[in-house]
A and B are shown apart, each in its own frame.
Chain A
Amino acid sequence: MTHHSLLGLCTGYGASLVLTALAFATVVLGADGPTAVLVTKVCILAAAQLVVQARYFLHLGFSERGDWNTAVFAYTFLMVLVVGVGSLWIMNNLAYNMMTPQETDSYMLKR
C-alpha cells in the first residue's frame, strides 16, 4: 500500500483526468438524451474513477494474500450501498404511502 511507482501515479492521474472530462462531456453534450442512459453512463464513469483511484493512489490490491485493507474497503462499500439505496427505498415507500387523496388521484391517472 505504500509502494508508489512514478509510472503508476502518472497513469492514475491521466486516467482520472480523462474520466472526469468524459463525465462532464456526457452531461454537457448529451443533456437532452434519455435520462436513464445518462444516469447509467455517469454512474459507470464514477465507478471507473473509483477503481482508478483505489488502484493507483490508494494501492488497494486484489491479489495479495490476507489483504485486510481491501476486505474492509469492500465491506464499507457494501454498507454505503445499504445506507444509500436503503434510505431512498424507504423514503420513497413512505412518500407513496403518505399521499393525500388528490396526489393519489393524479398518481392513479398517470398509471
Chain B
Amino acid sequence: MTHAHTLKDNRTLFGFWLYLMSDCLIFASLFATYAVLRSATYGAPGARELFSLEFVFLETVILLSSSFTMGLTVYFAHKGKRALMFGLLALTFCLGTAFIALEVSEFSHLIQEGLSWERSAFLSAFFTLVGTHGLHVLCGLIWMIVLAIQLALPRYHEIVMRRLICLSLFWHFLDIIWIGIFTFVYLFSFIV
C-alpha cells in the first residue's frame, strides 16, 4: 500500500469514527431517557417482571461472538485469504441474524401480551432504546450483503478493504452499545 493510500485510509476511518461517536451521543440521550423513565410503569409490569436473564445472556454471547468473527474477517482479509474472509463474514451475518431474530421474538412476545410502547413511559423508553440498537444491527446486516458483493468483484480492492474496516468498526461499536444495554437495562432491572 502506498503512502497516499494509508493517508486516505486514515482520513476516512477518522471521519467514520467521528460519525460513530456522534451516534454514541444519540444512544446516550436514549439511555438517559430510559434511566429517568424506568420506574414510570403506569400500573403495567416493570422491568423485573418482563425480562429473562437467560435470554439476554444468550443474546449477549451471540453478539460478542459476531464481533469476534468480524475481527477475524478483517484479519484474514488483510492476509489475503479470501475464502476464510468470506466464510467468516457469512458466519458474522448468521450470528447477527440470530441476534435480530431473538430480539424480534422478545418484542413480539411483549406486544402480544399487550405490553407495547403505548402501554407505559417505561415501555416507550425500552422499545426506543433497544429498538434503535436493533435497527443499527439490521443496517449492519444489509451493509454486509452489499459489501460481500463488492468483495466478490475483482476490482477496487483497496477501496473495498477500507469499507470493510469501517463496517468492522460499526459492528464493534454496536457490541459496545449492547454492553450498556445489558448492564443498565437488563442487569440493573434485577438489582435496583
**Which of B59-67, B100-108, B140-148 participates in binding chain A?**
B59-67
Given contacts A13-B64, A20-B64, A57-B67, contact A84 B31 (CB under 8 A): yes
Which of A31, A46, A84 is in CB contact (< 8 Å) with B179? A46
Q: Mark B5-16, 1 if CB is under 8 A from A, else 0.
A: 000010001100
Query: Within A72-111, which residues are at the interface with B (CB < 8 Å)?
Result: 72-73, 75-76, 79-80, 83-84, 86-88, 91
Q: Shortest beta-carbon distance, B85 to chain A, in Å? A: 12
- B117 CB contacts on chain A under 8 angstroms: none
Contact status B183-A43, CB under 8 Å: yes
Give the number of residues in B that approach A within 8 Å (Cβ atoms).
Answer: 44
Q: Mark B163-184, 1 if CB is under 8 A from A, else 0.
A: 0010001001101100110111
Which of A4, A6, A53, A69 is in CB contact (< 8 Å) with B176? A53
A-B contact count (CB 8 A): 117
- B57 CB contacts on chain A under 8 angstroms: 20, 24
Give the number of residues in A that approach B within 8 Å (Cβ atoms).
Answer: 44
Interface of A: prevailing SS: helix
Q: Shortest beta-carbon distance, A12 to chain B, in Å? A: 7
A45 to B190, CA, bound (A): 16
Contact status A84-B64, CB under 8 Å: no
Q: Shortest beta-carbon distance, A58 to chain B, in Å? A: 5
Contact status A9-B71, CB under 8 Å: yes
Given contacts A9-B71, A58-B169, A87-B36, contact A72 B187 (CB under 8 A): no
- B67 CB contacts on chain A under 8 angstroms: 13, 16, 53, 57
Q: Shortest beta-carbon distance, A77 to chain B, in Å? A: 8
Given contacts A4-B71, A69-B17, A76-B21, contact A50 B53 (CB under 8 A): no
Which of B169, B175, B191 is in CB contact (< 8 Å) with A35? B191
Point out which of A6, A20, A57, A75 has the most chain B C-beta atoms below 10 A from its C-beta. A57
Which of B14, B25, B75, B172 is in CB contact (< 8 Å) with A79? B25
Contact status B24-A4, CB under 8 Å: no
A2 CB–B CB distance under 8 Å: yes
Residues of A within 8 A of B (CB): 1-2, 4-6, 9, 12-13, 16-17, 20, 23-24, 27-28, 31, 35, 38-39, 42-43, 45-46, 49-50, 53-54, 56-58, 68-69, 72-73, 75-76, 79-80, 83-84, 86-88, 91
Q: Ordered nearest first, which 4 A-B pairs have the shortest CB separation? A: A87-B32, A13-B68, A80-B28, A76-B21
Given A23-B182, A46-B179, A87-B32, 6 further pairs, Cβ under 8 A: A9-B75, A17-B64, A42-B183, A42-B191, A80-B24, A91-B36
